[in-house]
């Protein structure tokens, strides 16, 4: 069965395919929007306008799913830092301030990290606690596909860690170079892709929703 992953990020598409390939939903054919025939639209930039990961993830799943007409997965993720009262949270992607009308720069990840470290200042490492959060959402078209647990479902994954004072590592993206995973003593940017899937928030969320995906079944018409 084909399912859509609501992202145009090739890195995320590959990561989710690899996560699902190791579990009960390995038989699914996970498509990106281009493969599903959904052309880019300016509307996509305004889907994630809510104040929670859950609302953003489900809004994206519904938007893409109604256009594709097939079961659709989406996620919203970000970094929550305790000293900053949970920021950047749902604003993680665009945390560093931009001038009015300024487009997102190519070095947005670096600017976000610099802004985060400026806000944390000289706070001791033990107090720089935080977590990566990912909410995976599943939307299933009514009357066409059956699924156990309901046609709209969500699962949350988290990875707890500490925010370093300077970046370490060259892998990954976003805040990975400053996010220390205490049990391994490494940042997410120092891990292999396979290690990050095992330790990370996205892996946790999509592994949690995989059993529901495994129950997807086309509704059979009258014989």
Residues 89 and 78 sit within 8 Å (Cβ to Cβ): yes
201, containing H or E segment:
helix 201-213
- Which is nearest to 10 in space by CA: 22, 1, 20, 18? 18
- Catalytic: 82? no
All residues at 6 or more sequence positions from 90 whose CB lies less than 8 Å from its CB, including other chains:
48, 50, 51, 52, 53, 56, 76, 78
Annotated catalytic residue: which of 75, 76, 109, 181? Answer: 76
Compute and round to an integer the Cα radius of gyration of the chain: 18
Phi, psi for 161 (deg, rounded to 5): -170, -165
Active-site annotation, residues: 76
């Amino acid at each position: 069965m084909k399912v859509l992953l609501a992202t145009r990020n090739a890195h995320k598409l590959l990561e989710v395919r690899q996560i699902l390939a190791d579990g009960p939903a390995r038989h699914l054919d996970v498509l990106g929007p281009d493969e599903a025939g959904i052309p880019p639209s300016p509307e996509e930039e305004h889907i994630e306008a809510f104040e929670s990961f859950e609302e953003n993830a489900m809004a994206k799943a519904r938007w893409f799913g109604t256009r594709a007409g097939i079961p659709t997965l989406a996620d919203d993720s970000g970094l929550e830092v305790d000293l900053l009262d949970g920021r950047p949270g749902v604003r993680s992607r665009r945390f560093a301030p931009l001038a009015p009308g300024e487009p997102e720069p190519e070095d947005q990840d670096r600017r976000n990290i610099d802004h985060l470290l400026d806000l944390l200042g000289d706070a001791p490492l033990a107090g720089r606690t935080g977590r990566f959060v990912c909410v995976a959402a599943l939307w299933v078209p009514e009357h066409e596909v059956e699924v156990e647990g309901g046609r709209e479902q969500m699962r949350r994954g988290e990875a707890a860690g500490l925010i370093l004072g300077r970046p370490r590592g060259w892998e990954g993206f976003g805040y990975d170079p400053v996010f220390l995973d205490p049990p391994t003593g490494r940042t997410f940017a120092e891990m292999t892709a396979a290690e990050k899937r095992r330790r990370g928030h996205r892996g946790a969320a999509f592994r949690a929703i995989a059993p529901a995906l495994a129950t997807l079944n086309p509704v059979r018409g009258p014989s």
